[in-house]
Chain A
Amino acid sequence: MYRIGVAAVWLYRATWGALFPTTCKYHPSCSQYAIDAVRRKGLLRGSALAGWRLLRCNPWSRGGFDPVR
């Protein structure tokens, strides 16, 4: 099931991510975080975690080392 999420991230990376290249302020990057999250927590919880991470990845946040736990 989590493969759907991983595939979505790869699709994003190949299209939008390649068109608008930005370096994420977090490590691992948001897309890698999303992959890790759905792998470890399943599609639903993983997606929610990834969504929350994306919201945190805004110009006001500090960024930094933030792996899935």
Chain B
Amino acid sequence: MILFKIPIISQLETVARHVLNWFHGTLHLPWAWAIVATTIVVRMLLVPLTVKQIHSMQNLQRFAPQMKEIQKKYKGDKAKQNEELMKFYRENNINPAASCLPMLFQLPVFIALYYSLRTFSHEPAAKHPGSLSFLHFIPSIADHTTSHWGGYVLLVVYVASQMASTLYMSATADKTQRILFMFMPLVFVFVIARFPAGLVLYWVTTNLWTVGQGLITRRLMPKTPPPDLFKRTSRTPPKDDGGGNGAKPAAPEEPKAGAARPAGQPRKVRRKKGTARRR
């Protein structure tokens, strides 16, 4: 993959290089472990975001049957389906789990690592003293992943960890979409094979972190819903939209909310279903 080098990217690269240098020079970590450490720091910074995300994801799962109903109702029209889902969220005071910001936060980290590893492979070894190998099975983290058999091992771990992390983090209730996301790494592995091994190492670490975080939060937070969520019997949608962001969309939504009032109908069914639900 060719990424154009614009000024921001070289700045990102400098930052990444500084961080790696610090881990390597001050903490005497080998380069590969410096990458792992960087990844862990990045993920630690993201912990509050992901915890909140997992929280709302578990709440979301409770509404899965109703959401499935909406999805079935507007099967042909994806846009309408989304719109109805958003309305459903609002009416039931649900905070949808997925959000773009935490995912985007990792993009600059990735780009920065990509370029610093590329620099590693281009510059003389004297500029980065120390071994570039990782756990004896990858001779150099700056080389293409497939340049050595060890890289294939890393790729297998990547696919497995990516699948596992999708299992934990994919916020969508749509089953087909989930399955699609699960098998995405099998397609992307061919692209990723062209990346430096260190980048795959970053990816594996971040995925394993996601899985670990998912396991821990699942254990810490029982599946039983918080009691305040049972209040959703109220038929009136929440009046106050809360926050600056909610206030804006309120106006254009008013007429639609009125027009699509039958959307309230499945809620009746939901009550019955809720009691009959086995899970």
Query: Given A18-B188, A19-B188, A63-B86, A24–B100 Cβ distance below 8 Å?
Result: yes
Query: Given A15-B1, A59-B52, A27–B83 Cβ distance below 8 Å?
Result: yes
CB proximity to B under 8 Å, residues A1-39: 15-16, 18-30
Is there an interface contact between B90 and A16, defined as CB atoms closer than 8 Å? no
Binding site for A on B (CB under 8 A): 1, 49, 52-53, 56, 79, 82-83, 85-87, 89-90, 95-104, 106-107, 110, 166, 170-172, 177, 180-181, 184, 188, 241-243, 245-246, 248-249, 252-253, 256
Is A48 engaged at the interface, CB distance under 8 Å to the other chain?
no
Q: Which residue of chain B has its CB nearest to the CB of A22?
A: B98
Nearest chain B CB to A54 CB, angstrom units: 6
Nearest chain B CB to A56 CB, angstrom units: 5
Binding site for B on A (CB under 8 A): 15-16, 18-30, 54-67, 69
Query: Given A62-B243, A65-B249, A57–B95 Cβ distance below 8 Å?
Result: no
- Bound CA span A28–B83, Å: 8
Contacts of A19 in B (CB 8 A): 184, 188
- Bound CA span A56–B232, Å: 25
- Bound CA span A21–B170, Å: 7
Nearest chain B CB to A4 CB, angstrom units: 12
Query: Given A27-B82, A64-B246, A67-B252, A57–B100 Cβ distance below 8 Å?
Result: yes
Interface of A is mostly: loop
21 example contacts (A-B, Cβ-Cβ < 8 A) are as follows A16-B110, A19-B184, A20-B103, A21-B166, A22-B98, A22-B100, A22-B171, A23-B96, A25-B89, A25-B99, A27-B82, A59-B97, A61-B95, A62-B95, A62-B241, A64-B90, A64-B253, A65-B83, A66-B245, A66-B248, A69-B252
Contacts of B79 in A (CB 8 A): 27-28
Nearest chain B CB to A63 CB, angstrom units: 5
The contact of B107 among A16, A28, A66, by CB within 8 Å, is A16
Q: Which residue of chain A has its CB nearest to the CB of B162?
A: A19
Is there an interface contact between A63 and B1, defined as CB atoms closer than 8 Å? no
Contacts of B184 in A (CB 8 A): 18-19, 21
Query: Given A59-B56, A62-B90, A62-B243, A24–B99 Cβ distance below 8 Å?
Result: yes
- Bound CA span A56–B246, Å: 10
